[in-house]
A and B are shown apart, each in its own frame.
Chain A
Amino acid sequence: MKILLIEDEKELSISISEYLQKENHLCEAVFNFEHAIEKINLYQYDCIIVDINLPDGSGLNLIRALKENKSETGIIIISARNSLDDKISGLEIGADDYLTKPFHLPELNARIKSIIRRRNFGGVNEIIFNDLRILPEQMEVTINGQVIILTKKEYDLLVFFLSNRDRILSREAIAEHLWGDEMDTADSFDFIYTHIKNLRKKIMEKGGEDYIKTVYGMGYKFTDQ
């Protein structure tokens, strides 16, 4: 996948690029509006990640430029401004998603994957991991061909894990993914534990492997290694 990252804060840009490159994405980073315009006029990207507040222009205008070219590129806005206006106008002019800084990198990664999946019209829209198969459109999960019934939260958790496989996911990142940021952290850690316990049980009941490893004091990791 080819991703263009437009973020003027260099350190943040480096972190994002590093995280995304591990997912075998090709991530190009630019730091201002001018270079971004150049890039989107020259190349085709699967997804662009754009900061609204750029030193020399608004990210919203970049989205408009992309949309004028009838580009199929997926667009994610990242903005420090937690403002309704930005969010609404961004989504109205054709952005696919909106993330507020500070965000968790696994969250960004999961959102990119979700967009790319949705835009992957030609191929089959599914997530496969060994014997696990997820059809996101139907929200259906099968293991060795057997359907397992998950609650909404368990399903969200599983997709989040699969979007960030082989990565340690902090409990904070999981909590924020499942409940947003108003959740009491101490309580939400308990809930995560319960959900993971149930998810494990459901997968193993159908003969699946236990892919969820607990990383003590930190979080969880979905891996077959």
Chain B
Amino acid sequence: MKLLTRTSLSYILISVVVFIISGLVFFNLLHTIFKRQLDATLTEEKMLVEQTINYSDSVPDFRLVFGHMIDVTILNAPQQKKSYIKDTLMYDSDLGSFASFRHLFTENTSIKQKGYTINIYKPLRDSENLIADIVISLALVFISLLLLLVIVNYFITRRIWIPFYRILHNLSIYEINQAKPLELAGSEIYEFKLLMTALEKMSKKIQFDYMNLKEFNENAAHELQTPLAIIKSKLELLIQKENLDENQLQLISGIFEATTRMSKLNQGLLLISKIENNQFNQTENINLAQILDKTIEHFEEMIDHRGITVSKVYQNHVTLMMNPILAEIFITNLVSNAIRHNILNGRIDLIVKHDSLTITNTGQLLKTDPGELFQRFRKSESSNDSVGLGLSIVQKIAGLYQMKVVYQHHEGLHTLIISFG
């Protein structure tokens, strides 16, 4: 839910509740006031009637005087003093139906020792109509006020939150490995200023750390090259010594193999950090089918050795804008991965479409979590010779050129789909 919708909704909800409560209170208040008014009028009329009875000793037709229902009865016996006012339902001849009336009843004994009763009825209709009119007009005023408030609030809030959405947008397009720091446009609002300063400070710190780490990685990998080269060269000189026995040669061979592995690992790490540092920025058009054919040819011996059948389906002619070295590494890693994790007499299917490259290979069931496949140093047990950087490099290169790599697995068939951006 958007912030704006949320505030508008709360606004409306609270206003409606307040309106209903205050409306009820107001309605009751009006009712009481009008009743009191009516009762006052009834009492006044009653007094007028009593005075008239006292003076004239007869009962005139009060209906002519007051214009509404009034009934005065003279009784011969003296009466107890009794008086009340209440609501009642009566047949209203004007309306032709029953309606609410205010009814005053008095029973008393006049000066001439004769009793009388007075019944005065006043219709509540008029005051009820009045109340209804007042309530309706008030409601109209309230609703238009509420609408106005909501609209004004909507626009004000939208204006106020503009810097916030700009900050969000800038944050979402910000990439840590880009050269320029996070820059957020200014706002006059104090809280936003605080937010921007905090974010800028944080991103600067993160970027600084990230750059440091990246630089360290690259330097470390780079600096390792020389000692590795020295070890390799010394070992090569060592094996030329005349008087080495088989045992010693075996030991040296072990060192040799480990050094080669380390050297490969180091080269892989160096490559990753170079890709991260965007050091392969020259691109050219790469013919995908051509580079695939070349790579398959390169691995021909290995493919024959394992009895793997390779089928190639090039549905479209695809050229990719890539750095030629990275393109070669990319395809080589994909193909060698499909060969390395294959089974004896297995198969590899390559399908090139206008928007994707699909590589399917037969293979053992995956023991690791497919999600971890692209992480560095993840490797299956069956191929201990690999250093476990192949797919990680593939993904790094794919990321560089906005390609997506998806892994699928179905009954011993492993599929990597690379969709071009």
Contact = CB atoms under 8 A, between A and B. Distances in A.
A179 B229 CA distance: 19
A145 B394 CA distance: 50
A71 interface: no
A11 B237 contact: no
Chain B at the A interface: SS class: helix
A181 to B, nearest CB: 7
Contact of A184 (B222, B232, B250, B336): B336
Contact of A80 (B222, B232, B233, B260): B222
B237 A12 contact: no
Given A102-B225, A191-B305, A83 B230 contact: no
Interface string B247-273: 001101100110010011001001100
Nearest to A173: B236
B237 A18 contact: yes
Contact of B229 (A84, A102, A191, A217): A102
18 contacts: A9-B226, A11-B234, A15-B236, A18-B237, A80-B226, A82-B270, A83-B279, A103-B229, A168-B239, A172-B257, A181-B264, A182-B336, A184-B336, A184-B339, A185-B257, A185-B385, A216-B250, A218-B256
Contact of B230 (A9, A22, A184, A187): A9
Contacts of A181: 264, 267
Given A101-B225, A185-B385, A219-B239, 16 more contacts: A9-B230, A11-B230, A11-B234, A16-B233, A19-B233, A84-B280, A84-B282, A168-B240, A170-B236, A170-B256, A179-B298, A184-B302, A185-B260, A215-B239, A217-B246, A217-B250
Interface residues of A, number: 39
A14 B225 CA distance: 17
A167 interface: yes
B228 interface: yes
Interface string B359-373: 000000000000000
A191 B306 CA distance: 11
Interface in A166-199: 167-168, 170, 172-173, 179, 181-187, 190-191
Contacts of B226: 9, 12, 80, 101
B240 A167 contact: yes
B204 interface: no
Given A101-B225, A101-B229, A186 B385 contact: yes
Interface string A60-92: 000000000000000000001011100000000
Counting from the closest, the 9 A-B pairs by CB-CB distance are A15-B233, A102-B229, A101-B229, A80-B225, A217-B250, A105-B236, A11-B230, A218-B249, A102-B232
A87 to B, nearest CB: 9
Interface in B217-243: 222, 225-226, 228-237, 239-240
A12 B234 CA distance: 8
A170 B260 CA distance: 11
A119 interface: no
Interface of B: 222, 225-226, 228-237, 239-240, 246, 249-250, 252-253, 256-257, 260, 263-264, 267, 270-271, 274, 279-280, 282, 298, 301-302, 305, 323-325, 332, 336, 339-340, 383, 385-386
B249 A217 contact: yes
A179 B225 CA distance: 21
Contact of B263 (A9, A22, A102, A215): A102
Interface of A: 9, 11-12, 15-16, 18-19, 22, 80, 82-84, 101-106, 153, 167-168, 170, 172-173, 179, 181-187, 190-191, 215-219
Contact of B233 (A12, A179, A190): A12
A184 B340 contact: yes
B225 A104 contact: no
Nearest to B264: A181
A170 B239 CA distance: 9
B229 A12 contact: yes
A162 to B, nearest CB: 17
Contacts of B256: 170, 172, 218
Contacts of B229: 9, 12, 80, 101-103
A170 B255 CA distance: 12
A103 B270 CA distance: 16
Nearest to B250: A217
Contacts of A170: 235-236, 239, 253, 256
Contacts of B234: 11, 15
Nearest to B239: A168
B253 to A, nearest CB: 5
A24 to B, nearest CB: 15
B240 A22 contact: yes
Nearest to B383: A184
Contacts of B240: 19, 22, 167-168
**Most chain-B CB neighbours within 10 Å: which of A15, A173, A183?**
A15
B232 A190 contact: no
**Most chain-B CB neighbours within 10 Å: which of A22, A83, A187?**
A187
Contacts of A105: 233, 236-237
A9 B340 CA distance: 37
Contacts of A18: 237
Contacts of A15: 230, 233-234, 236-237
Contacts of A84: 280, 282, 323-325
Contacts of B386: 184
Contacts of A104: 232, 236
Contacts of A172: 256-257, 260
B237 A19 contact: yes
Contact of B252 (A102, A167, A218): A218
